[in-house]
């Protein structure tokens, strides 16, 4: 008889033959900074996750560095919004200030990723500018993305997270960065970003003004081949990392992309996925920490080299505790 159980007989034996690892170096911590806020405040639907002030986020970054979390992804919430999202590409706008201060304080101790999208900055909440019929104008939006890319690169971002899902965004941004002399600034491309129901709490985090949905530019969750095309296009256009969002309902896409990608693959465990675990744990229905580890390992097992998660700091600390 073949007995696979022989390799499960003790914790040390299980550790020795484990096929998948999860280390702090695999994690990105999203961070929200709200302009005009005088003290941090918890985000509705995301227990333990805060909108930071322009002072408190720097203290939080100190904790990330201490816990050996290698990267942070910044989202900023402005006090003033307009139809064109002009604060997004203002050289001294909230996101530019957040990136600049972080880079000045931490240098290369943290990989600073700035979200490159207009949705936090537009009065209508869409990821791009609208045409006369109220539809998102792809090519006009690209022009503003290029402005935003140059501003954030010069503020000190190591990478830009292109989350808008406009056609041709990676190529346009890469060209703009290179033309501005920012050839070392990388692009983390949201290559396969689905129009998901799991983004709800995130919209609280950025105080989204969106009415309606983003189904004309984010992907249809019924489709798989479409993702592979999007990934291939982003890699051709110069993406340095490709990301799938959300992660947990799209592990098949993570797996497929990991097989074809010539660049590192990331996945984003989104706010709704976070909220489900936290709500179930708070109700006593699941054992919280083992559930979190199981979920993050599933993303790694599917093929993601990098995980963007609101649990990054906590899990990095827990991994450190468990390391002999």
Helix axis angle for 225-237 and 169-179, nearest 10°, is: 10
Q: Which residue has the tokens 């009065």?
A: 123
CATH number where 90 lies:
3.20.20.70
Residue 324 confidence (pLDDT) above 80: no
Q: What percent of the chain has pLDDT over 70?
A: 100
Q: What predicted TM-score, i.e. pTM, was given to this entire model?
A: 0.95
Helix (H, G, I), strand (E, B) or coil at 143: helix
Q: What is the mean pLDDT of residues 21-33?
A: 97
- Residue 219 and residue 194 in contact, taking contact as beta carbons nearer than 8 Å: yes
Single out the catalytic residue among 68, 193, 225, 259: 193
Sheet strands (E) in 57-141 = 71-77, 111-116
pLDDT at 141: 97
Single out the catalytic residue among 175, 225, 245, 259: 245
What pLDDT digit, counting tens, does each position of 125-179 carry? 899 999 999 999 999 999 999 999 999 999 999 999 999 999 999 999 999 999 9
Side-chain half-sphere exposure of 123, counting CA atoms within 13 A: 7
Structure tokens at 63: 């904790």
Q: How far is CA 231 from CA 215, 269, 282, in A?
A: 18, 18, 37
Looking at the DSSP bridge assignments, the partners of residue 59 are none
Residue range of the domain that includes 245:
4-322
Q: How far is CA 25 from CA 21, 64, 277, in A?
A: 11, 11, 23
Question: How far is 159 from 144, CA to CA, in rounded Å?
Answer: 17
Q: Give the count of domains, the chain.
A: 1
Burial of 314 (0-12, 13-18, 19+ CB in 10 A): middle
pLDDT at 119: 93
Q: What is the mean pLDDT of residues 278-299?
A: 98
Q: Taking Cα atoms as reference points, which of 62, 164, 184, 46 lies closest to residue 115?
A: 164
Instruction: Summarize the chain as % helix, strand, coil (round to 5).
Output: 45, 20, 35
Helix (H, G, I), strand (E, B) or coil at 157: coil
pLDDT at 208: 87
pLDDT at 70: 97
193 in catalytic set:
yes
| Confidence grade of residue 322 (pLDDT, cut at 50, 70, 90) | confident
pLDDT at 212: 79
Q: What is the mean pLDDT of residues 222-238?
A: 97
Phi and psi, residue 19, nearest 5°: -90, -20
DSSP letter for 220, please. Answer: P
């Amino acid at each position: 008889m073949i007995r696979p159980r022989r390799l499960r007989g003790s914790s040390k034996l299980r550790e020795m033959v484990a096929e998948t690892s999860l280390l702090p170096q695999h994690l990105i911590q999203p961070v929200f900074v709200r302009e005009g806020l005088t003290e941090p405040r918890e985000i509705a639907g995301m227990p333990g996750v805060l909108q930071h002030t322009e002072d408190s986020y720097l203290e939080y970054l100190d904790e990330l560095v201490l816990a050996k979390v290698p990267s942070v992804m910044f989202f900023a919430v402005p006090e003033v919004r307009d139809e064109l999202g002009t604060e997004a590409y203002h050289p001294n706008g909230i996101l530019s200030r957040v990136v600049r201060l972080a880079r000045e304080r931490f240098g290369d101790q943290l990989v600073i990723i700035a979200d490159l999208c207009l949705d936090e900055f537009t009065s209508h909440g869409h990821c791009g500018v609208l045409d006369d019929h109220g539809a998102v104008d792809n090519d006009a939006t690209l022009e503003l993305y290029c402005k935003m890319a140059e501003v954030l690169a010069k503020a000190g971002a190591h990478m830009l997270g292109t989350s808008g899902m406009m056609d041709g965004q990676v190529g346009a941004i890469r060209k703009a960065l290179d033309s501005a002399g920012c050839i070392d600034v990388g692009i983390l491309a949201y290559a396969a970003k689905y129009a998901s129901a799991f983004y709800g709490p995130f919209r609280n985090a950025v105080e989204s003004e969106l009415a309606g949905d983003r189904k004309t530019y984010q992907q249809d969750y019924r489709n798989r081949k479409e993702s592979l095309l999007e990934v291939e296009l982003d890699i051709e256009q110069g993406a340095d990392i490709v990301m799938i969002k959300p992660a947990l309902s799209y592990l098949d896409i993570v797996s497929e992309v990991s097989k074809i990608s010539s660049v590192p693959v990331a996945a984003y465990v989104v706010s709704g996925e976070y909220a489900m675990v936290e709500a179930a744990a708070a109700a006593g229905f699941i054992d919280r920490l083992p559930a979190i580890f199981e979920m993050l390992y599933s993303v790694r097992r599917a093929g993601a080299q990098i995980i963007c998660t609101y649990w990054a700091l906590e899990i990095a600390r827990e991994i450190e505790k468990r390391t002999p």
